[in-house]
């Protein structure tokens, strides 16, 4: 196949168009974080800070004020779903919350969960995510608490 000047220009145009779409999508995604209302607050109901838990199985009860809980994928203003952070710091607040053993997702709208932790000192913190598991702006998260499992 003989390459012509026109086909080369079309290739450059195509690559430029793809780059614009990709970059535009990235910027739109970053700019499209979900707003949270003033006074929104997430908190851990149970266990309390400093609790000593016998055995490794425990219930975590999650609370939220001035917002509602909704499953992942549901786009309703002033709602989100809980993510429990175990023995870790807050992730980047402008990106999707990771999903692993330290970042538990409760995308069905759960407000309590049974977890199991090994003996030792542990930290727990909640972070609210929007329908796409991205923190709101401003982010809504609880105080980090420490518990001891015996």
Section 34-54 average pLDDT: 97
What is the predicted pLDDT for the residue at 5? 47
Residues 61 and 135 in one domain: yes
Q: Which residues of 47-85 are buried (b: 16+ CB within 10 A; e: fewer)?
A: beeeeebeeeebebebbbeebebbebeeeeeebbbbbbb
The residue segments making up the domain with residue 3 are: 1-32
Beta strand ranges found along 52-97 (DSSP E)? 52-53, 57-65, 68-69, 79-86
Q: What is the pLDDT of residue 32?
A: 81
Let me know whether 28 and 67 are in one domain.
Answer: no
- Regarding whether 50 and 122 lie in a shared domain, the answer is yes
Instruction: Give me the number of domains the chain comprises.
Output: 2
With tokens 């220009």, the residue in question is 9
User: What mean pLDDT is reported for the chain?
Assistant: 85
Residue 45: the pLDDT is 98
The CATH number given to whatever domain includes residue 131 is 2.60.40.10
- The per-residue pLDDT for 137 is 98
pLDDT tens by residue, 127-137: 999 999 999 99
Quick check: 139 pLDDT over 70?
yes
Which comes out higher in pLDDT, residue 24 or 8? Answer: 8
Quick one: average pLDDT of 22-30? 39
37 Rama class: left (phi>0) / alpha (psi -120 to 50) / beta: beta
Q: Is the pLDDT of residue 41 over 90?
A: yes
CB 111 within 8 A of CB 17: no
Looking at residues 2-16, what average pLDDT do you find?
42
Query: CA–CA separation, 142 vs 76, rounded Å?
Result: 21
* 63-75 pLDDT tens trace: 999 999 999 999 9
pLDDT at 61 over 50: yes
The residue-averaged pLDDT of 117-142 equals 97
């Amino acid at each position: 196949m003989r390459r012509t000047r026109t086909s080369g220009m079309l290739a450059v145009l195509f690559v430029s168009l793809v780059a614009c779409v990709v970059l535009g999508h990235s910027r739109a995604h970053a700019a499209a974080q979900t707003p949270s209302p003033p006074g929104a607050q997430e908190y851990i109901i149970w266990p309390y800070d400093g609790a000593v838990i016998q055995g490794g199985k425990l219930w975590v009860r999650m609370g939220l004020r001035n917002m509602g809980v909704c499953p992942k994928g549901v786009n309703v203003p002033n709602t989100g779903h809980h993510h429990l952070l175990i023995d870790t710091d807050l992730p980047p607040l402008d990106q999707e919350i990771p999903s692993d053993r330290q970042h538990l997702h409760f995308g069905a709208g759960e407000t309590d969960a049974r977890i199991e932790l090994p003996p030792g000192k542990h930290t727990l913190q909640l972070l609210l995510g929007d329908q796409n598991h991205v923190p709101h702006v401003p982010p809504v998260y609880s105080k980090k608490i420490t518990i001891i499992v015996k």
